[in-house]
Amino acid sequence: MTEDDEADFCALAAARAPALRRTAYALCGDWHLAEDLVQQALVKAYLSWPPRERSAAAGYLRQILLRTCTDSFRRPWWRREQSTDAVPDVRGVSDDYPHDQGPLLDALRRVPPRQRACIVLRHLEDLSVEDTAALLRCSTGTVKSQTARGLDALRRELGSTPDLTPTPGGLR
């Protein structure tokens, strides 16, 4: 990798990392794990950097992150062993993230992992059914059924939640 390639990688990683971490958090519900997953994804991206198409680099980073996340759901009893190569544990700037998750994420956390992944990819990442199927390595029919079941489960979980109005100014 040339110095220019490495500089490109660092610039893109720094710019995209916060958004990647948000997606990872929506999927896993834990900021520290989300940060670990982003770090792992960045190392994986570095290993095959530069991508063939520079214009698709941001999407490529996101794809690696989503694969890293969804792979980590597959084997939760040893999921951190799927992490990447000799990266030291890196903590965020604060060890005390607020624990009061919003009602939607709290409910989403109780939705089964595959259904949760479908919901996040389809509705937060705004991916198509086809792209979601490719990322989750399943058929488009499975994505549709898992998304529908996930939404059913989410609605049940939210049944008693009184107010889901977005916080004013919360959407930046």
**Interaction mask 90-129, other proteins, x per CB under 8 A:** x-xxx--xxxxxxxxx--x----x-----xx--xx-x---
Residues 35-94 that bind other proteins (CB under 8 A): 35, 38-39, 42-48, 64, 67, 71, 74-88, 90, 92-94
Pair of tokens at residue 34: 């989300």
- Shortest separation between residue 79's beta carbon and other proteins, angstroms: 8
- Shortest separation between residue 149's beta carbon and other proteins, angstroms: 12
- Supply the DSSP symbol for 85: T
Position 131 contacts other proteins (CB under 8 A): no
Position 149 contacts other proteins (CB under 8 A): no
